Amino acid sequence: MKKLYFLPAALLSTLLFSCGGSENNTVQQEQTVVQEKKKDAIREKALLMFAVLPDKAENPKNPLSEAKITLGKTLYFDTRLSKDGKNSCNSCHNLSTFGVDNLPTSPGDLGKNGTRNSPTVFNAALHSVQFWDGRAKDVEEQAGGPILNHIEMNMPSEAALVARLKGVKGYEDLFKAAFPDSKEPISFQNITLAIAAFERKLLSPSKFDKYLAGEDVYSELERKGLETFMNAGCMACHKGALIGGDMYQKFQHNGKDKGRFEVTKNENDMYMFKVPSLRNAEKTYPYFHDGSVAKLEEAVKIMGKSQLNKDLSDTEISEIVTFLNTLTGEIPEEYKKAPTMPQ
C-alpha cells in the first residue's frame, strides 16, 4: 500500500496564498500601468491646449522698474484718483479678494453702479484686450479709462488729476524716481504707465501650472475634472495659459448688453464679449459680464447649454468645478497691503 503524505495545513495555506498573491500582484501591476498611461494621456492632451502661466507680463513700450512699480501700487490704492476721493482702483479690483469686489456691478465715486461686472485684475496684463468689450488694447490704455469715467472715478479731466497730484509733495519724488528722463514726471500718461507696471506684476500661478509642469499634484478627482472639462469642449474657448482671455464669443445672456457692438457699431459684434480667463474663477464670483450668476456651478451649467448646446449632468458640472478650483492661485501678502500714502 502506498503511503499518503499530507502537507501541514499552515504550509499548504502559504503555498496557495503565494500562488494567488503572485497572480494578484501581476493584475495590480497591469492596472497600475494602465492608470499611469491614462494619467499621462490626460496631461499630454492638456499640454496641447493649455500652457504654464508666464512668470512675467512685460511690455517693451513700458519697461518695468522697481520705482515705477512702487509708484504704480501707490496710485492703485490712492482714493485721490477719484473726484470726491471715495474710490481707488482697489475699490473695485480688491487685491485681498482676488482682484474683484464680489459684487454684480460696482458703485463709483458718486455711489452709482456701472452696468458691467468688474473683472479680476490678476493676470489681466496677459489678456489679448481689456474690458468685456475689448475697447482697450492693453493695461496701459485701460488704466486711464476708469479714472475719467463719470460713473466710476469721475475725474473731470486728465489735467485735473495731474494738478491734484502735483499738489501732493510726496508724489514729486516718486514720479521723478519712476520717470527719471521725463521733463514733466507727473503727467497723465505716466500715471497710467505706472499703474499698468504694477498690474503687470499681478500674476497668480496655481496648482494647475505645477500639474502642467509635470508635478504629480492632482488627485484622481481633479484629473477627472480636467478630463471632463476637455471632453465637454470647454477648451474651445477657454485655452492657453489663461484658460481664456484671448478671443471674443457671442453670449446673449439676458439680451440687454450688446457687448462689443456698443464700441464698434458693427452688426457682427452684436452680443460679442471677451471670453474671460477662468483662473481664480472659484473666487471671482459673481459671473458673466453683468454679474448675474452667483454660483460657479450655475455658470458652468449655463455655459454648457448656451455655448456647447449640452445639458451637462450634475456629476459633470461637479467634476468641472473641481478642476476649476485648481486654477485658484496664491496672492502674495505684499500685494494685499496698501502702502503709506504720500502727503
152 is catalytic: yes
Can you say whether the dihedral through the CA atoms of 294, 269, 234, 242 is positive or negative? negative
What size, in residues, is the chain?
A: 343
d(CA 176, CA 70): 12
Residue type, 218: Y
Cα dihedral sign, 243-249-254-256:
positive
Distances from the Cα of 121 to the Cα of 7, 274, 298, angstroms: 76, 15, 23
Comparing CA positions, the residue from 298, 293, 295 lying closest to residue 104 is 293
Locate 116 and state its grid cell: 458691467
Tell me the CA distances in angstroms from 91 to 79, 109, 155, one per residue in order: 9, 10, 15
From 30, 44, 152, 184, active-site residue:
152
Cα dihedral sign for 190, 192, 195, 201?
A: negative
CB 120 within 8 A of CB 94: no
3-state SS of 259-316 is ECHHHHCCHHHCCEEECCCCCCCCCCCCECCCCCECCHHHHHHHHHHHHHCCCCCHHH
Give catalytic residues, as residue numbers. 152
